Amino acid sequence: MVREPIFSFWLRAWVQPIIGAAFLLSVVWLAAQRWRTLHGTPATAIVHALPGLVGSGKSSTYEVVIRYALPQEHVRIARMLTNQSAFKKLNVGSKVSVRYAENQAQKPLLESEWSFNGEMIVLSIGALFFFLSGLHANTAWRKRRRAGYLP
């Protein structure tokens, strides 16, 4: 059996679970923020422009510029990112329903969006795998010698 070098084994055993847990918590935090936005104040917006695909390649993120009015405020223009299926249903000048959180009116989301989209599911599975792999390495590190932590 080939032994892994001590330093890389130590990194996998002690640093990887911490980074994996932080990454997993950040994905859950992002989903909670989106959930809070999607359960926020509803508004009717007008599609102002459809710039289209964000980035190059096979990205599935599209940009939409909308105009909407908040209660007792002036008209706002906001840029939103959405998926391809929602983008194809939009036309310039059409009315759409959006929601925004009270303290983040400049970051609305389409009412049809989900709080946990496909991209976040892939990220959470990757973070979970990274975390569990680190926990497995940590268990192996602890079992390698009962008398102490020296090699």
pLDDT tens profile 65-96: 999 888 777 788 999 988 888 888 999 999 99
Average pLDDT over all residues of the chain: 85
The pLDDT assigned to 2 comes to 60
Q: Is the sign of the CA dihedral 141, 131, 55, 108 positive or negative? A: negative
Report residue 127's pLDDT band, with 50, 70 and 90 as the boundaries: very high
The pLDDT assigned to 132 comes to 94
Instruction: Please state the separation of Cα 98 from the chain's center in Å.
Output: 19
Average pLDDT over residues 92-114: 87
Q: pLDDT over 70 for what percent of the chain? A: 91
The pLDDT assigned to 119 comes to 78
For residue 108, pLDDT beyond 70: yes
For residue 148, pLDDT beyond 70: no
Q: Which residues of 28-59 are buried (b: 16+ CB within 10 A; e: fewer)?
A: eeebeebebbbebeebebebeeeeeeeeeeee
Residues in the chain: 151
Q: Per residue in 14-29, pLDDT tens?
A: 999 999 999 999 999 9
The pLDDT assigned to 66 comes to 93
Q: pLDDT over 90 for what percent of the chain? A: 33
Q: Lay out the sheet containing 95-101: strands in order across.
A: 75-83, 61-69, 41-53, 95-101, 104-110
Instruction: Return d(Cα 51, Cα 124) in angstroms, integer.
Output: 29
The pLDDT assigned to 19 comes to 94
